[in-house]
Chains A and B, each alone.
Chain A
């Protein structure tokens, strides 16, 4: 396996991130080498503030402080809050990826990184702690078709995307990830009761890739 790819359960994530100005850019490719179709998390349901029209926000990102002082970021199901009960669980809309197929996309994340979740509005600046992370774990969630009673319903306002429901939608999701060591990369950590335990199965151990940009080093450095 190439050092910058991660394969698990037939799903391969390839990413060559870079930094453009004050943005980390993650161009990525997801390949399905498994026997079954998968549904890859791609966007969050959203509402245009002015028109109140529904839309799919494919640049919505979840960012949280993960294990070993890494920043975990990408498109996956955000942990449910533990200090409140939520009316509507927020589940990403998914792209169908047939067996043998692949797709490419791109996620741009502003720096400095700040813990972000669809369940929490941003805090005032003084309610964050600034810390330096040791790596960035770029993560994409998915469901395997047919698993756990899964149903995928086309999204009316975004015909390429599906709403996925299973018996336990969060728990039956899987994540594929890729880790990039970093130096001098800051994360604004929330000081409220922000949840950081991601549900679902991690079918891939994060492995080192490279992120060549200011503040980020290659694994060989």
Chain B
């Protein structure tokens, strides 16, 4: 196997605006599998267009160290950059298995939600205690993914 690049590598989705920081091969494969699954839906392709058009770089990273319990989040790379030119999605698909031990969401749904956050307003613009609602795009994705066959699992070389 080739050595992994040390820097975040762009993926084809979202016109190269989406990057994955390679923590390890399994992590990178699992993130790409989620990207592939999202891209198989029209709601997912629409979201990738939003990422491309937002003009931001979106980098996916593994939580290091992880939180307890596992979680995922989106934040600006530079908290003082009001235009949030780079957003970071912190999640590990391995934390969101199916079936989920805590009854939580599948990893592709977690990534979809974080991508929506990455193209939305930067954090801090709303009441921090307001509780999240399911967006129309997420609702469309959830309906569509459940009728779209899951892409074949990537195999390790």
Contact = CB atoms under 8 A, between A and B. Distances in A.
A60 B91 CA distance: 22
B15 interface: no
B55 interface: no
A45 interface: yes
B101 A52 contact: yes
Contact of A44 (B66, B69, B114, B120): B69
B149 interface: no
Nearest to A122: B65
B32 interface: no
B74 interface: yes
Contacts of A171: 129
Nearest to B95: A47
Contacts of B110: 87
Contacts of B131: 89, 168-170
Interface in A13-47: 44-47
A53 B76 CA distance: 32
Interface size, B (range) = 20 to 34
Given A52-B97, A81-B123, A122-B65, A197 B75 contact: no
A85 B102 contact: no
A44 B68 CA distance: 9
Q: Give the interface SS of chain A, mostly helix, strand, loop or mixed.
A: loop
Interface stretch (A113-121, A130-138, A177-185): A113-121
B104 interface: yes
Interface string B7-47: 00000000000000000000000000000000000000000
A84 to B, nearest CB: 4
A53 B105 CA distance: 16
Nearest to A195: B128
A136 B73 CA distance: 31
Interface in B72-118: 72-76, 79, 91, 97, 101-105, 110, 113-114, 117
A60 B79 CA distance: 29
Interface in A116-168: 118-122, 156-157, 168
B75 A83 contact: yes
A83 to B, nearest CB: 5
B65 A121 contact: yes
Interface in A35-75: 44-47, 52-54, 57, 60
Contacts of A79: 128-129
Given A84-B74, A119-B67, 10 more contacts: A52-B101, A82-B123, A83-B76, A85-B114, A85-B117, A86-B73, A87-B91, A122-B65, A170-B129, A193-B79
6 contacts: A79-B128, A81-B128, A84-B73, A84-B75, A87-B71, A121-B66
